[in-house]
Amino acid sequence: QIIGEYNVKNEGIRLLYDSALRWKSLIPRFSISHVRREKNKEADKLANRAMDTHRNSVEWE
Tell me the C-alpha distance between 10 and 2, whole Å.
Answer: 14
CA 7 to each of CA 15, 17, 18: distance values in angstroms, whole numbers, following the listed order: 13, 10, 12
pLDDT over threshold 70, residue 49: yes
Please name which of 33, 53, 49, 31 lies closest in space to residue 41, comparing C-alpha atoms.
49
How many whole angstroms separate alpha carbon 50 and alpha carbon 27? 28
Residue 59, pLDDT > 80, answer no
Per residue in 1-46, pLDDT (tens digit) is: 677 778 888 888 889 889 989 988 999 998 888 888 788 888 888 8
Give the residue from 52, 37, 45, 35 showing the smallest Cα distance to 60. 45
